Every structure is written in C-alpha cells, then in structure tokens.
C-alpha cells in the first residue's frame, strides 16, 4: 500500500498554515543564474533587466531555496516597480523562509496596502500571527482572506489549523472538511503556491493526526484514515485506544489492515 503522508500545511516552516504566492510556471534557469546559485552570491542584478525579468530570476532563486539571493532580486525589481503588491508578497515569503518574521510582516502589510483585496497577503499575515502563537489574530486574518476568496482550500486548511491550536476541534474539522471539498489532497501536500502551516508541538501533531484520521473515516476514506492512524500511533498519541470506541471509526474497525495496525480490541466487560 502506498504510503501517504498526513501532514498539513500548518507552521514553522515547519509552519503551519499555507503561505500563498501567485502560482507561476517553473521558469527556465538562465545559465548565469544557475551558476550563481551553485557558486555563491550572484553578481548585482543587471541594471538593464526589467522588473519582470528580475522577478522571474528571483522566483528561480526562491524555488531553489536561495532565499537571500532571491531577496536581492526582489529588491531590485521593487526599485523599478515600487507599487507591485505581488512583489511585496513574494519578498515577504522569502523573508519568512529565513525566519525574518518582522521583515516578512512588513512586506505582507505593504502588499495589502497596495492591493486591499489581495487575499493571499492577508493569508500570509495570518501565517505570521500563527507563528507568533497569536491564534486569535491569525483567525481574523484568515477570515479576512476568505471573505475575499472563499474558494481557497489552503486558507480553509490554515484556518482549521488555527482553530485546532485553540482546541476548538469542531470548528477545525469544519474548515478541514471545506478544504477537502475544494481540494481532496490539500491536507496531504504543501500548496504549490507557498508553504504549508504545520502543527508546532509533537504532542499536538500526534493529536492532529488522530483528528485527521477521524475526519477521513467520516468521509469513508479508509486508506487515508489508516495512514493518519499510523502516524498518530507512531507519534505517540496518548489516547490512541479511543479508536476502538469512537463511532467515527466503525467503518474501519473491520478492515484487516486496521486489525494489523491496532490489534484486536479488548472484549468489553
């Protein structure tokens, strides 16, 4: 059986909760830029490059995790196009990858100032608040993003993670359910347009895996349910035996793979 990971996109980069940029086709790396990535800091960005060319090169560098180099190119692009909300958002993501939260926050704020209806930037401000463990503020930012773009699976997933952090599990599961309606695989992979937020503590990750298993069981998705149960067990969830009595798992308890994973339940007295 193919293993499917159950980590969401919540946190520390680890991080919790999807940082959003505009989806871009993978640009072709120019030979000089590829060499710069491999050999160290690039030469100063070419003065003749347009803002769009500088942005594309910055995207290549960021995709290859050369974040400090990417920042140089985003800054050069912003000098030529200082009112571009997308550029501020992308630079903020690069700052976030370097754990420069204050700089990232300023860039996301600049993005929403330039474009007040920029849902992705509000979502990313939510990521900052989540990483600062200000979950109430993160929820407000995610809800603001959803008012602008209700059909964003990643934002619903992030909002679910913030509710989870506040132990409001019913609300968290509601947001995860909506995220799965929009993208059935959203909880199993990072967003193609950014970084997924993740649960911070080991104890919470184990509980989170159990909650996801319960949710997949309710949806009738036995394979993903079992995979999440395996993660919860491996991560040391302290109440894993609840799987033998929680009604959501009735659909999987007769599956031979469940018995193999969890063993036969003890007979009721």
Residue 163 CB contacts under 8 Å (≥ 6 apart), including other chains = 139, 169, 171, 172, 175
Beta carbons of 127 and 197 less than 8 angstroms apart: yes
C-beta atoms surrounding 244 within 10 Å? 15
Beta carbons of 17 and 9 less than 8 angstroms apart: yes
Domain limits, the chain: 1-200, 201-269
Q: Which residues pair with 15 in a beta bridge?
A: 11
| CATH class belonging to 1-200 | mainly alpha
269 burial via Cβ count (<10 Å: 0-12, 13-18, 19+): exposed
Provide the residue-wise pLDDT of the chain in tens; the chain has 269 residues: 434 334 333 343 344 444 565 534 444 455 455 555 555 556 789 999 999 999 999 999 999 999 999 999 999 999 999 999 999 999 999 999 999 999 999 999 999 999 999 999 999 999 999 999 999 999 999 999 999 999 999 999 999 999 999 999 899 989 998 998 998 878 765 443 444 555 556 777 888 888 888 888 888 889 889 999 999 999 888 889 999 899 989 989 889 999 888 876 655 44
> What is the model's pLDDT at position 32?
54
| Closest to 42 measured CA to CA, from 27, 50, 25, 54 | 54
> Helices then strands (H, E): number in the chain?
12, 0
Indicate yes or no: pTM above 0.85.
no
- How far apart are the C-alpha atoms of 112 and 118, rounded to whole Å? 6
> What is the model's pLDDT at position 13?
38
| Closest to 70 measured CA to CA, from 49, 56, 89 | 56
Q: Which residues pair with 11 in a beta bridge?
A: 15
- How far apart are the C-alpha atoms of 177 and 96, rounded to whole Å? 28
């Amino acid at each position: 059986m193919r293993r499917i990971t159950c980590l969401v996109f919540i946190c520390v980069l680890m991080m919790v909760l999807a940082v959003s940029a505009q989806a871009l086709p993978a640009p072709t790396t120019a030979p000089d830029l590829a060499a710069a990535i491999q050999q160290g800091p690039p030469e100063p960005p070419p003065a003749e490059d347009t803002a769009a060319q500088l942005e594309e090169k910055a995207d290549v560098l960021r995709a290859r995790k050369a974040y400090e180099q990417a920042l140089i190119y985003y800054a050069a692009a912003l000098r030529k196009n200082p009112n571009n909300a997308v550029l501020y958002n992308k630079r903020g993501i690069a700052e976030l990858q370097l754990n420069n939260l204050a700089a990232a926050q300023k860039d996301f704020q600049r993005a929403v100032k330039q474009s007040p209806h920029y849902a992705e930037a509000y979502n990313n401000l939510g990521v900052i608040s989540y990483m600062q463990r200000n979950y109430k503020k993160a929820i407000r930012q995610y809800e603001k993003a959803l008012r602008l773009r209700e059909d964003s699976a990643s934002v619903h997933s992030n909002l679910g993670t913030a509710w989870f952090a506040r132990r409001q599990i019913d609300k968290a599961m509601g947001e995860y359910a909506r995220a799965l309606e929009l993208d059935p695989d959203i909880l199993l992979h990072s967003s193609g347009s950014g970084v997924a937020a993740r649960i911070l503590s080991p104890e919470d990750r184990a509980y989170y895996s159990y909650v996801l298993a319960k949710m997949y069981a309710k949806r009738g998705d036995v394979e993903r349910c079992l995979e999440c149960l395996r993660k919860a067990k491996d991560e040391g969830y302290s109440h894993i035996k609840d799987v033998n009595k929680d009604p959501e798992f009735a659909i999987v308890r007769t599956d031979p793979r469940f018995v193999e994973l969890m063993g036969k339940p003890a007979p009721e007295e």
